[in-house]
A and B are shown apart, each in its own frame.
Chain A
């Protein structure tokens, strides 16, 4: 038997709350925090509604010398990593004797667009001498992994997964592999900050982007009013470790990373994403040694277009059989927005918290579901939850599935 990899710490920076407790309180209440875009320089753009992180003061959590050389997406990552380490009670004293035993892997969808825009404006307006040296590192996809590693003295396996939005789940697979290869613990997750002018312009070409100006109607997946998705910022970081190692140091096991699989079905192929997603679900179930009926809740990708939602519904029945029409499905992101790679990371946080509380959080702003799915709407649904399935698809064709088992069973 290979040993299991478990989640022992969760750090969340989300539009609906900073910290796992605040995030869960808002998530299980079904609160929607989608609102008009207020970030500077975005007023004239056709994207009207987004999930902005407003309750987060980077300066209160991260030292100036890290703030000045990093983009907002890395501010989110550094803060979320702190929260995760604190939650796991994993401090520098635990690993400074062997810093090579702890690594970092993040997923990123676009890097530091806001920082890059500012420096390019300096280049355009004042000339090359006014582009600061931090531009060389801040925009880069790997910036968050690198800065976490430097700030925390983590010298184990470090990497960044750039496999589209579903990379937020694929990062967990990389972390599990690092643990199996001998790392004691890994920081893993994804954060994004795509709500700045240049970054938003890059997204305007996404056919699924909702340009509705009504926060209550802009993102309603699985309904016949579905008009695309609303983007968001923020994300989540996790501490994962070998189960026995966690037990030895007395850490609380919050959930077990039981299975993962990924597929790729090509850009702008919403129809094909169903088959790809079904294949990923089957693979994740196989790795988790999990029967379809053992899945107690599905955290859906919920892209929010008719074609993509139909493909996801088809994937669930293709992979889970008739049970795919009965299993409770939720998409809390309809109340916070879709934070690209960070969306499945936030869904994973919500799934762990749902398993802990035996509650399926609802899908905000969604009322009349037009697919043959049991989408949990309105208010949270109490249910005995032992296993959760988290799904994610990317704008560019990646599809991933992650199976999580309840933490309590890990110690049984």
Chain B
């Protein structure tokens, strides 16, 4: 599906939280914690809000509790595909 979240788009979203990260870096280490990239919980909350506005639909309520980019991508894309 075209509205799947990619690491490239996640990197763009992380920029809105002031974090500059290479998507290739996240692809190499999908299980590194957001914290290691300097992203805190408010920053992830911002990314969730931004993404919800972009897609025009709500994400699961626990989306802002994901610890890693890999976990976040799985959760978001499963949710988008199932329409949950």
Contacts and interface: CB of A to CB of B under 8 A. Distances in A.
A137 B43 contact: no
Contacts of A136: 42
Given A64-B18, A129-B49, A129-B53, A134 B42 contact: yes
A66 B17 CA distance: 9
Contacts of B52: 129
Interface string A106-142: 0000000000000000000000011011101100000
Contacts of B16: 68
Contact of B18 (A65, A129, A133, A137): A65
Contact of B45 (A63, A67, A133): A133
B38 interface: yes
Contacts, number: 34
Nearest to B19: A65
Given A65-B38, A65-B43, A133 B49 contact: yes
Interface string A137-155: 1000000000000000000
Contacts of B42: 69, 133-134, 136-137
Nearest to A136: B42
A395 B42 CA distance: 35
B78 interface: no
Interface of A: 63-69, 129-130, 132-134, 136-137
A129 B46 CA distance: 10
A301 to B, nearest CB: 38
B18 A132 contact: no
Given A133-B46, A134-B42, A137-B42, A65 B17 contact: yes
B6 interface: no
Given A133-B42, A137-B42, A69 B49 contact: no
16 contacts: A65-B17, A65-B19, A65-B38, A65-B39, A66-B18, A67-B18, A68-B17, A69-B18, A69-B42, A129-B49, A130-B53, A133-B45, A133-B49, A134-B42, A136-B42, A137-B42
B53 A64 contact: no
A359 to B, nearest CB: 42
A123 to B, nearest CB: 13
Interface in B8-54: 16-20, 38-39, 42-43, 45-46, 49, 52-53
Nearest to B53: A129
Given A65-B38, A133-B42, A134-B46, 6 more contacts: A64-B19, A65-B19, A65-B43, A129-B52, A132-B49, A137-B42
A136 B49 CA distance: 14
A65 B49 CA distance: 17
A185 to B, nearest CB: 26
A133 B49 CA distance: 8
Contacts of A68: 16-18
A68 B20 CA distance: 12
Contact of B46 (A63, A64, A67, A132): A132
A314 B58 CA distance: 64
Interface in B38-84: 38-39, 42-43, 45-46, 49, 52-53
A130 B51 CA distance: 11
The 5 closest A-B pairs by CB, nearest first: A65-B18, A64-B18, A68-B18, A133-B45, A133-B42
A69 B45 CA distance: 12
Contacts of A133: 42, 45-46, 49
